[in-house]
Amino acid sequence: MLVNFVRAIIIYIIVLVVMRLMGKREIGQLQPFELVISIMIADLASIPMTDTGVPIFNGIVPILGLLAMHLLITVLNIKSVSIRKITCGKPTILVYRGKIDEEALKKERFTVSELQERLRGKDVFNLGDVEYAILETNGEVSVIQKPNKRNTIPEDFNIEPDYEGLPYDLIVDGKIMYENLSKIGKDEKWLQKQIVKFKTTPENVLIATMDGKGNFFCQNKTEKRKKRKW
C-alpha cells in the first residue's frame, strides 16, 4: 500500500512538471498534436501507478520522451508554416460574408445546429448577424459580426479613452505582494499609509489592489463571529 502511495506521488510530480513545461494552454485550446500527447501521457502514467510489477521508470522514460517530442514539434511549428499546417491544420471559414458554406460544414463534419450552438457560446443568437465564422485549429469558433450588429467602441465616436493600465494585487489574504509593489514603484511604507485610511492592518485585509489610474481598493476579511454559549 505504501509503495503504491509513493509511486503515485512520484508519477504525479513528473506529470505535473511535464504539463507545466508543455505550456499554459487550456484543455479546450489544445492543438491536435498536443491533445494526443496529453492522452498518451495520462495512459502511460496510469500503468506504473496501478501495477507495482512494472518498474516506475517504464512510465517515466516514455513520458519524458513525449515531452521531448512535444518541444521538438513546437520548435518546428514556429520555424515552418508547412509543418504547422500538417501538425495543427488550418482554420476553416464556415460562414463567409453572411452565407453558410455548406461544403466547409461537410468537410469539418459540422451541423448547422452545432454551428448555432457555438455562436450562442459567443453571445450571437442570430445567424443573420454573422459576417464571418471561422473554425480555428483548436476547435474554437471565432465570430465576426456584421458592422451594424457589432458593439460600439469609443473609436466609433472619435473618443480617446484615458489610459487604464493594469490593476495589481498588493495584498491577498493578508499577505503583501512585494513584487507587485515594486512594479508600481511603491514600497511597504506607502502601502501601510494606504491601509491606515481603511482603519485596518495588512493581516486583516482580504484583497487590496491599485489600478492604472491610481485608484486604491481595499476589502477586509470577514470577522468570524464567536458562537454564543447558552
Query: Do 27 and 79 belong together in one domain?
Result: yes
**92-96 and 99-100 as β-strands: parallel, antiparallel, unpaired?**
antiparallel
Residue 20: the pLDDT is: 80
If asked whether residues 80 and 15 sit together in one domain, one would say: yes
Q: How far, in Å, are 26, 27, 44, 115, 151 from residue 140 at the CA level?
A: 12, 11, 28, 11, 21
Residue where a domain stops, chosen among 86, 107, 131: 86
Do 96 and 82 lie in one domain? The reply is no
The CATH number of residue 108's host domain is 3.30.240.20
- Integer Cα distance of 65 and 54 in angstroms: 18
Separation of alpha carbons 145 and 131, rounded Å: 5
d(CA 84, CA 21): 20
Q: What is the pLDDT of residue 226?
A: 45
Residues 75 and 6 in one domain: yes
Looking at the structure, do residues 66 and 39 belong to the same domain, yes or no?
A: yes
Task: State whether 23 and 42 are in the same domain.
Answer: yes
pLDDT of residue 119: 94
For residue 96, what are the domain limits?
92-149
Rounded to whole angstroms, the Cα distance separating 14 from 65 reads 12
* Rg of the chain (C-alpha set): 26
Total count of domains within the chain: 3
Within-domain flag for 156 = no
pLDDT given at position 143: 95
Query: Which residue reads 507587485 in cell numbers?
Result: 180
Identify whether residues 74 and 134 lie together within a single domain: no
Residues 6+ apart with CB under 8 A from 52: 3, 4, 7
Query: Residue type at 166?
Result: L
Indicate the SS3 state at residue 133. strand
| CA-closest candidate to residue 31, choices 62, 67, 77 | 77
Q: Mean pLDDT by 10-residue block, N- to C-terminus, for the chain (230 residues)?
A: 80 84 65 82 82 82 89 88 85 94 92 93 92 90 91 82 85 94 93 93 94 91 58
115 and 63, same structural domain?
no
- Of 86, 106, 138, the residue that ends a domain is 86
The per-residue DSSP string of 4-48 comes to: HHHHHHHHHHHHHHHHHHH-S--GGG--HHHHHHHHHHHHHHHHH
Residue labelled with grid coordinates 498518451:
40
